[in-house]
A and B are shown apart, each in its own frame.
Chain A
Amino acid sequence: MTMLLHPSLDLVKNIPAIAADWPGGFWWHWLVFTIIIIAFVLVLVMGYIYIERRAMGIMQARLGPNRVGPFGLLQPVADAIKVMCKEDIVPIKADKIVHWLAPIVAFFPVLMIFAVIPFQNGAVLADLNIGILYVVAISSISTVGVFMAGWGSNNKYTLISAMRSVASVVSYEIPVVLSLAGVVVIAGSMSLNQIVLAQNIPMILFQPLGFLLFFIGALAEINRSPFDLLEADSEIVAGLHTEYSGMKFALFYLVEYAEALAVSSIVTTLFLGGWRGPLLPPWLWFLIKVIAVFFVMVWIRTTMPRIRIDQLMALAWKFLFPLAVINLVITAIEVLVFPAGLPWLLILVNLAIMAILILLWSKLFKLGGGRIEV
């Protein structure tokens, strides 16, 4: 299980691993990390909202929020307070319990994902040896909350939105898991901490295709543009949120960005070497990488038109799925051929394979069509 650990561990050795029960005792560990995770998620979600609005503003040849506090930094705070103080409306014909529970069911699984994300060597709430499996399993539960919201609101727009969301998550789970399998095969472990330790060379270089597939699939799963069919403003009003106001809407808003945060954390951990990096402290490296990944998401959001639901499905089954399978097979062969660790030359080979496969598939597979005779 130490294929990549043997060459030189000097970078890692400089940073001593944090004890598994830091700062002493099971309960202290539990309490401290829960607080860290909640603070991390809440603060970074606000940061994300700020970054998204400012970056989007600048990309759209304008300024973005800059009046509230220095550089508009307090904008998300103002938003949060305002949304919380707003009236909470429950439609008369809504399924009240489901309507009430939905945001909570959607939010908590997202928070739970962070339990296995290492912020530093060993700095993790629970270093599960099935970390990736846990992430994949837990993240799907959010969908139940989303569907509850769609059903409970008793609104046709929300129902359409919920159906779209469920359909996309069910389809995209497969290419996402398959592309994660590539990483697991190379690292030889499912624990996220072990995977970070295994990345002397960031995994993105050995798994360029896997990274792309995972990133696209994850964008679709969390319904960010260009797969934001869930909240397609121009089609189904506000989608899922149509009937939510006040605190419950705030929770859904939080879910949206917390999911983006979760995805960027997972991408950072699995593909970009997690907290590892020279000079700066590990937690700062982690933050920088997470924010950089999120910036790419914002960039995509401001650039791309939205795709249609049948095209979304076609992309998952005809483009991502076969490529993910091929990627997994190639990775497995590479690991079998080089059991002592992958040589760096494979990076070039993998990049070439990625380029060839993507070019080939984009010739074979075209989005389009979609009319049904009625």
Chain B
Amino acid sequence: MTVALTGFNVAPQITKQFPDAVVEANDRAVVVKSGLLFKVAQYLKNTPGLAFDYLNHISAVDYYDYFELVYYLVSIEYNHSLVLKTRCDRNKPAVPSAVSLWRGADYQEREIYDLMGITFEGHPNLKRIALWAGYKGHPLRKDYLE
């Protein structure tokens, strides 16, 4: 059975390493600052005991005021999982890219860029994936007008 680590389990460890990284920790997830996302992810991936070597999926949710990015991390070694979240501003949405940590993020980040309009800084090939170049708007946003 995959043990789902909650925010309470992991937040203290992250805080120890990056004192002001954690925004919120609840029974489902740990929310970190978008600026420190890459560093936290790196820490989570490379620390023995956590070793989240498998990025299950990335998702983005539009909450009208902000975007929330959901990283579902799994450790195949320890068989546990963690939901890592980050929030970004709706006016100028940008978060650091995780491709250099998990290459599985490649197409998913492009998809979020395409459909949600969030820029991933440091992505090697950030362009539209599902729609075509020149398409207006980002369909998965809640205020998308057809």
Direct A/B contact, Cβ within 8 angstroms: no
